[in-house]
Every structure is written in C-alpha cells, then in structure tokens.
Amino acid sequence: MHTNNIEKPVVIAEIGCNHMGNIEVAKHMIHVAKFVCDVSIVKFQKRSPRELLPPAVYNNPHPNEHHSFGKTYGEHREFLEFTKAEHQELKKYCEKIGIEYFTSVWDITSAKDIISLKPKRIKVPSASNLNFPLLSYLCDNFKGEIHISLGMTTPKEQSEIVSFLKKKKRNKDVVLYACTSGYPVPFEDVSLLEIRRLKKEFGATVKGIGFSGHHLGIAIDPVAYHLGAHYIERHFTLDRTAKGTDHAASLEPDGLRKLARNLKEVYLALQYKKKDILDIEVAQRQKLKSHQIVKNHTSTRAKKK
C-alpha cells in the first residue's frame, strides 16, 4: 500500500482504428493488451463519417493512398468503423476477460450508440472537444466520466470547455488530457510541462489530469505520470509497419508491456521512507555501519575529556 496517497497510474491502450476494420483482430488486440501487456483499459473510436465529413472530403481520395482502405476518404473511414452491435460484442469480450472497454465518440450519433452500452467512461477526442452540442449531449445523457483530449486547443478554448462543463455541473466527472496532435510527435513538441499547467489551472475544478502521448518510445511517460497525469494513454498496435496512419505512432506489445511495468515501478518508488531505518537496511547497518558509529562515538568522548 502506498504511504503518500499517490494515485496509481492507469494505462490505456488505444486500439483506435489499428484493428484495420477486423473485429477478430480487435479481440486479439484486447487479449494481448490484457494478458501480455497487463494494462487496465483498451480504447476504441466511434464516428459517423457521413455526419462528420463534408461531401467534398468524403468523396475525395485518401491523402495517402498506401494507407487507405477505400477508394475515397469516406469509404476508408466507413471501412474502419464498427457497428453499435460490434462495439457491444467488444465490450462483452472485455468484460469476459477482465479489462475495461472505453471509446472515443466524435459526434452525437456515435455518442448515442456508445451511451447505450453503458460504459464507465467516454472520451471526446481533440478533434471534437469544441463541439459544444456533443459536450452538452454527453453532460445531459451520460452519467459516467467524460474524458477530453486537449490537442489542437488554445488555453483560452480549454478554459471555455471547463467553464461549460462547470455550468453543466459535470466538471467533477471530467478528466483533461494534455496532448499534442501529431503522428508521431517529436520530443520537443510533446510539451510535458503542459501537464503541470493543466493541473495548476484546472486540477481543483476537474476530477483528474491525463496524458495522451503520440511520441516514440516509452522514456518520457513516467515523467508525465510524475508531473500529475493519472491516466497515460498510448496508441497500441500489433505491428508498427501495418497499413494505416496511426501504427507508426503506436507501441507494439513489448513496448506497451514495458511501459505498464515501468509506471507501476515508478508508482511503488514515489514515496518517502516509512521509517528512519527501513527493515531492509537493518542488517546492512549492523554489518557495514555499526563499527563506524562506535568509532565516532569513542572519538567524540575522547575530545570531551
């Protein structure tokens, strides 16, 4: 048990669209996240391409043909979408093996579908965090936690989001995520100290602070946790070279496993000593230090005489 009331890190494996539209691949990724990587939560995405995309964007080719799953960008997005029934199937599979199902919703139609599944929490991605009708719908119709990424969002806009949630009396159900929206993000743009700023400005107003990282490797995530990010979210893939634009900024199973392990070890280490001389030190003190203490005490007495 931790002696300093520090919250355990919660690692979220964002599968997102890295399942490539295949529900069996998605289930396999859930299994790997649970039993190989030992993480707490897996996260998906739900969006309604027709609702989100202007016709010109929907009907145009994907900007990177190599990563496209359709002739147009709209077809590509539709291919990667799971139906409400498929999300229900994924949630049941998560419950069966003991890992939490979590999803980002990009629009109100998707929010309605996911709310009906009664998850513990729902995420609003950076792309949709200024969609106040969506935020309002979640506030009014979803009783669980509302997690919000703040990529591509100015400090003024962030304050407007928090003020809106406060007026809705839902701020204490909200977790804000420091985030830089890039795939992948170079280290100089990760801007970890934004976590400290968010904690200072909004920590007393919202439920918590998280970090959604799109960088390479796992070196800096423990620092994000130490700076105050309770939730650490990373994209997850089985193969970083696979088809799709998110794989390159994702962690493969061994990387995610090491990340979860490292964060747990940091959590255990982040405390003061429970007592002046720990039990583990007693034998070493007697072996390595006791004669020095006797010598020092003898010298002190000799000087006094």
pLDDT at 291 over 80: no
Same domain for 254 and 282? no
Residues 135-163 pLDDT 10s: 999 999 999 999 999 999 999 999 999 99
Residues 162-183 pLDDT 10s: 999 999 999 999 999 999 999 8
Percent above pLDDT 90 for the chain: 90
Same domain for 250 and 305? no
Same domain for 155 and 85? yes
Whether 129 and 164 have beta carbons less than 8 Å apart is answered as: no
Confidence of residue 217 (pLDDT cuts 50, 70, 90): very high
d(CA 204, CA 136): 22
Q: Which residues span the domain enclosing 246?
A: 10-272
* Mean pLDDT in residue range 47-66: 94
Whether 207 and 165 have beta carbons less than 8 Å apart is answered as: no
DSSP 126-174: GGGTT-HHHHHHHHHH--SEEEEE-TT--HHHHHHHHHHHHHTT-GGGE
Helix H or strand E segment including 104: strand 100-105
Residue 178 lies in a domain: yes
Same domain for 17 and 79? yes
Same domain for 160 and 17? yes
Nearest one of 84, 97, 105 to 23, comparing CA atoms: 84
Confidence of residue 6 (pLDDT cuts 50, 70, 90): confident
Same domain for 301 and 173? no
Residue whose tokens read 């039993």: 35
285 Cβ neighbours under 8 A, 6+ residues apart: 277
Q: How many domains does the chain have?
A: 2
d(CA 201, CA 285): 45
Same domain for 119 and 24? yes
Residue 5 lies in a domain: no
pTM for this structure? 0.93
Same domain for 94 and 107? yes
Confidence of residue 247 (pLDDT cuts 50, 70, 90): very high
